[in-house]
């Protein structure tokens, strides 16, 4: 608390749904498989941006060190339903092309 006050910092409140959304976004957009406690840092950044506490021209570093393998049940909750494809390279290419 002292450090936050001394530096003019702030706290943000996030919920479980925010964390699951952050896990999903990190995985889909940047290929990071984060566990919930690690994804909470990114969820907090998203909340801070929405609240105007962080401006679009500011540089921010979010350190995510916890692997999603630590909490697979949460990863399953966060993930959209799986898209099943045939086990061949053409099917992979088609699936990737449809994602854009």
Confidence of residue 27 (pLDDT cuts 50, 70, 90): very high
Q: What is the mean pLDDT of residues 59-67?
A: 93
On whether the CB atoms of residues 19 and 41 are closer than 8 A, the answer is no
The per-residue pLDDT for 55 is 92
pTM, two decimals, is 0.74
Q: What is the mean pLDDT of residues 8-37?
A: 94
* In 1-100, beta strands by DSSP E: none
Measured between alpha carbons, how far is 63 from 36 in angstroms, rounded to an integer? 13
Q: Which CATH number belongs to the domain containing residue 12 in this structure?
A: 3.40.50.1100
Q: Which residues of 26-35 are buried (b: 16+ CB within 10 A; e: fewer)?
A: bbeeeebbbb
Count of structural domains, the chain:
1
Cα 47 from chain centroid (whole Å): 12
Domain span at residue 49? 2-99
With H, G, I as helix, E, B as strand and everything else as coil, classify residue 69.
helix
């Amino acid at each position: 608390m002292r450090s936050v006050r001394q530096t003019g910092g702030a706290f943000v409140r996030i919920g479980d749904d925010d964390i699951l959304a952050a896990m999903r976004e990190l995985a889909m957009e940047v290929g990071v498989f984060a566990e919930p406690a690690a994804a909470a840092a990114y969820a907090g950044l998203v909340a801070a941006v929405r609240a105007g506490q962080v401006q679009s021209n500011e540089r921010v570093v979010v350190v995510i060190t916890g692997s999603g393998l630590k909490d697979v049940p949460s990863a399953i909750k966060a993930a959209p339903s799986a898209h099943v494809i045939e086990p061949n390279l053409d099917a992979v290419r088609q699936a990737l092309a449809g994602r854009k």
